[in-house]
Amino acid sequence: MKEKYGNILKNPLVRNTMKLSLSNTVMFLLPIIVTPILSRLYSQENYGDWGIFSSAYMIVNALLFFSYENTIVKTKDETEVPVLCRACLVVAFSVIVLTAVVFLGGKALSIGFFTGFPELGLFILLLAISALTQLFYNLCNRYEKYTLMSVTNVIQGAGQAFFRLLFYAVKSVNGLILGNVVAQFMAAASYLVGLRCKTKELLRTKATGAQIKSVLRKYKNFPLYDAPGMILEVSIGNLALIILSLFFSKSDIGCYSIIYQFMILPISLIGSAMAKVYYKDISVAETQEDMGRVTKKVTKLTFVLALLPIAFVMCGGDLFITWYLGEKWAMSGNFALCLSAISVPIILSESLLPIYRVIDKQNIRLKYDILCAIFGLGGMFAACLAHTGIYVALLTYVVLYSIMRYLLFLSIQREAKTEWAPKEMFLGISAVLLCYLILAVRIYILLF
């Protein structure tokens, strides 16, 4: 038994995923540790502004490179890497300039969302810093510098926690936002120092305009299919917050925003970290059987981890959250109860999404992302229009979106041609249904 677990830990996929997951844990846990202090210092309105700011940032950030940054990992031609890096910077600069024009134009036209948008200058600055951070991140993933990625995650998490506390005293700007910007800058600086030799090498390599156009055309499937899918995937959760902000108070949005950060924590810790390593492994897989084996291994690992968030809430975690944040955040515990069901299908499918890039079938992922947006956001918007209340609107979104994500998960298994024994399928389905049954009883008690 000892030898079996020792072999598991020696597996590069598991080991590298653990590096990223553990550092991601520190990155997010450090801010969470100080959250009880922040929730008592900052108001629900402050968190409402942060929620709107971060939602807009996440949407634009997903669009920043039009998915071209993922080609840095995929390409097998080392000479393309410097050209791809420059192409990514050109695309990112264009998107940032266009974003600034749209926001300034919306403000000039007195459009409500833009006139009330918090800290526009910091928003544009954060996008610029994020462009560098993402570029360095993908270079680290290509050259398997997982230790640097892990250290940088810790630096970013510690910086965010520290500076949000420090900037509370600055009344002229939202400290939650400013602290995040400074932490992102520290992450970019960490990557720059760690990759200084590789950066110098890339800068010495020339890249002409013709070469940049050539690689942009070569990897056109990424902006055509992969980028819209990524944008939809990231946008759905953040657009849900924006939709709710149109119908409910900023105080309610603040409660939703703070719990939304908690709920995306396991997705970032598990799904995103696993996806980075999984993408690298299947990119070099030589046969369909190799791809299927890696996919099955990742699925087994993420399935167990995906049940942890719902199990936490199912066993009273929502009550703990209310106590943890303070009495004025009672609604946040109820939101956690409603949102917990969505974490299972997201974590399961999130770590496996890179398969569509490797097999050049990003159009399939795009199809499911469109379905998620239509059913999830459409259902929520209809519920809001019907004045059903914030909990029913949220549950409508959760149920419909979860169904689409489970269908996406099944599609991935088909594409990878993974083989599952009937016993494995029965145990997995039974575990998920049991969790949902207990959760449904608790939600029923909440609503009725």
Percentage, residues of the chain above pLDDT 70: 89
Is the pLDDT reported for residue 82 higher than 90? no
pLDDT score of 96: 96
Give the pLDDT confidence of 237-257 residue by residue, as tens digits.
Answer: 788 888 888 888 888 888 888
Residue that wins the pLDDT comparison between 281 and 4: 281
Helix axes 390-416, 343-350, angle to 10 degrees: 30
Per-residue pLDDT band at 27 (split at 50, 70, 90): low
Q: Is the pLDDT assigned to residue 267 strictly greater than 70?
A: no
Whether the per-residue pLDDT at 179 is higher than 90: the answer is yes
Q: Among the ranges 58-62, 224-228, 232-236, 397-401, which has the highest mean pLDDT value?
A: 397-401
Instruction: State the Cα–Cα distance between residues 254 and 343, nearest whole angstrom.
Output: 20
Q: Which residue has the higher pLDDT, 108 or 14?
A: 108
Is the confidence at residue 426, as pLDDT, over 90?
no
- 3-state class of 171 per DSSP? coil
- Alpha-carbon distance of 386 to 390, in angstroms, equals 11
State the DSSP H helix or E strand holding residue 248, giving kind and residue range, or none if neither: none
31-41 pLDDT, tens per residue? Answer: 667 878 888 88
Q: How confident is the model at residue 4 (pLDDT cuts 50, 70, 90)?
A: very low
> Where along the chain do its domains lie?
19-219, 252-448
Q: Write down the pLDDT at residue 32.
A: 67
Tens of pLDDT, residues 101-144: 999 999 999 887 888 888 899 999 999 999 999 999 888 888 87
3-state DSSP percent of the chain in helix, strand and coil, to 5: 85, 0, 15
Q: What string of H, E and C letters represents the secondary structure of 61-109?
A: HHHCCCCHHHHHHHCCCCCHHHHHHHHHHHHHHHHHHHHHHHHHHHHHC
Q: What is the rounded distance in angstroms from the CA atom of residue 180 to the CA atom of residue 252?
A: 22
pLDDT reported for residue 1: 45
Confidence check: pLDDT of 408 > 60: yes
Please state, in angstroms and rounded to a whole number, the distance separating the CA atoms of residues 28 and 49: 20
pLDDT band, very low/low/confident/very high, at 295 (cuts 50, 70, 90): confident
Residue partners of 311: CB distance under 8 A and separation at least 6: 435
**% of the chain surpassing 90 pLDDT:** 18
What count of residues does the chain have? 448
Cβ contact 432:393 at 8 Å: no
CA atoms within 13 A on the CB side of 296: 13
The region of weakest confidence among 21-25, 153-157, 194-198 is 21-25
**Cα separations in angstroms, 138 against 59, 227, 279, 293:** 19, 16, 11, 24
Alpha helices in 313-421 (DSSP H): 318-325, 330-339, 343-350, 355-358, 362-372, 378-385, 390-416
pLDDT recorded at residue 150: 80
